[in-house]
Amino acid sequence: MIYSRIVGTGSCLPPKIVTNAELAAQMDTSDEWIRTRTGIRQRHIAEASQTSSDLALPASREALSAAGLAPSDVDLIIVATSTPDYVFPSTACLLQAKLGIKGCPAFDIQAVCSGFVYGLAVADKFIRSGQHKCALVVGAEVFSRILDWNDRGTAVLFGDGAGAAVLRADSRPGVMASALHADGSHAGILSVPGNVCGGKVTGSPFLRMDGKAVFKLAVKVLDEVARETLAQCGLTTRDIDWLIPHQANARIIQATANKLGIDASKLVITVDRHANTSAASVPLALDLALRDGRIRPGQRVMLEGVGGGFTWGAVLVEM
- Least Å distance, CB 116 to ligand ACO, is 12
Asked whether position 307 contacts ligand ACO by CB under 6 A, the answer is yes
Give the distance between the most distant pair of CA atoms in the chain.
Answer: 57
One character per residue 153-192, x = contact with ligand ACO (rule: CB under 6 A):
x--xx--------------------------------x--
Contact by Cβ (8 Å): 164, 282 = no
Write the interaction track for ligand ACO spanning residues 266-305; mark x where CB under 6 A is met and - where it is not.
----------x-----------------------------
CB of 194 to ligand ACO, least distance (A): 17
Q: Catalytic: 246?
A: yes
Is 37 one of the binding residues for ligand ACO (CB under 6 A)?
yes
* Residue 83 three-state SS: coil
Out of 12, 93, 113, 134, pick the active-site residue: 113
Q: How far apart are CA 91 and CA 286, in angstroms?
A: 22
The answer to whether residues 317 and 197 touch, using CB atoms and an 8 Å cutoff, is no
Which three-class secondary structure state does DSSP give residue 106? strand
Closest contact distance (angstroms) between CB of 310 and ligand ACO is: 8
Task: Return the amino acid letter for 97.
Answer: A
Nearer to ligand ACO, 96 or 311 (CB): 311
60 lies in the binding site for ligand ACO (CB under 6 A)? no
Using the contact rule CB under 6 A, the part of the chain among 131-139, 178-186, 206-214, 290-298 near ligand ACO is 206-214
Q: How much of the chain is helix, strand and coil, in % rounded to 5?
A: 40, 30, 30
Q: How far apart are CA 179 and CA 226, in angstroms?
A: 8
> Strand ranges (DSSP E) for the chain?
3-12, 17-19, 42-44, 76-80, 106-109, 134-142, 160-170, 175-182, 190-191, 194-197, 200-203, 208-209, 242-245, 300-307, 311-318
Question: Which of 248, 250, 288, 317 contacts ligand ACO by CB under 6 A?
Answer: 248
Q: Under the criterion CB under 6 A, does residue 218 sit at the interface with ligand ACO?
A: yes
CB of 188 to ligand ACO, least distance (A): 13
The size of the interface with ligand ACO (CB under 6 A), counted in residues, is: 24
Contact 158, 98 (CB under 8 A): no
Q: Which residues are catalytic?
A: 113, 246, 276
Residues near ligand ACO (CB under 6 A) are 29, 33-34, 37-38, 113, 152-153, 156-157, 190, 209, 211-212, 214-215, 218, 246, 248-249, 252, 276, 306-307
